[in-house]
Amino acid sequence: MSLGRQPICATLRSVSGILLGILLGILMVILLTVPVLAGNPVSDCQEQATQLAVGSRSTGTGVNNLDRQVAVLIRWIDEATSYDVSSTRTDPPEIVFTASGGLIEYEQRQIVVEPNLRGAYDLSHRRIYLVCPWTSGNPRNVATLLHELVHDIQFQTRSWQCSQAAEWEAYQLQERWLVQQGIAADFNWVQILMLARCPRDLHW
């Protein structure tokens, strides 16, 4: 009875060989195509930012969309808080666009942009990082920019026990701005409270 299985096994091996060849061919096509389609995420992001919104401050073409957005947000912070925003209004921080997976210089070290990160403020260089996709037409994207501008104003005008301590107020202002746009922030305030505590405030 075992003799009858040999032709079947041979046929299965033949079919398996054909399927394996097809799969290898598909894999080669994917490997050859993906790098071309994916490109450089950071440079693609910067190009997208320039096209969408945002313009470049180094072009010398005058006030652009991003400059106007920054001015509007600084005015909002001025009206919503008791901070003196004149320093940030006169000399706004640098704004740089980056992409998830890219490297940014943050607090004198390089870090990888995690998938859940939407923005960051680097105090040592007075630099705001915005993570693409970003557009001034998306209120949540604009709220991220607001949050980082709040940090610049916070550190320009007062001293903090640690940089994390500024987060609670920045998130509160971000939420207030979103609510005014009719959008629920849905922040995890317990997580933000832990984030805003200075290292020596934590006891395990």
CATH of residue 75: 1.10.10
What is the per-residue pLDDT across 107-164, written as a single tens digit (0 to 9) for each?
888 999 999 999 999 999 999 999 998 888 899 999 999 999 999 999 999 998 888 8
Q: What would the two tokens of residue 38 be?
A: 């994916």
pLDDT, residue 128, reads 95
Confirm whether 63 is domain-assigned.
yes
- Domain count of the chain? 1
pLDDT exceeds 90 at position 78: yes
Confirm whether 174 is domain-assigned.
no
Mean pLDDT of the chain: 77
Confirm whether 150 is domain-assigned.
yes
Confirm whether 16 is domain-assigned.
no
pLDDT, residue 164, reads 87
CA dihedral 64, 70, 72, 77 (to 10 degrees): -170
Residue 147: give the domain boundaries: 42-160
What is the pTM for the complete model shown? 0.70
Confirm whether 26 is domain-assigned.
no
Confirm whether 10 is domain-assigned.
no
**pLDDT confidence bin for 61, thresholds 50/70/90:** very low
Confirm whether 95 is domain-assigned.
yes
Confirm whether 11 is domain-assigned.
no
pLDDT exceeds 90 at position 7: no
pLDDT exceeds 60 at position 9: no
**pLDDT confidence bin for 22, thresholds 50/70/90:** low
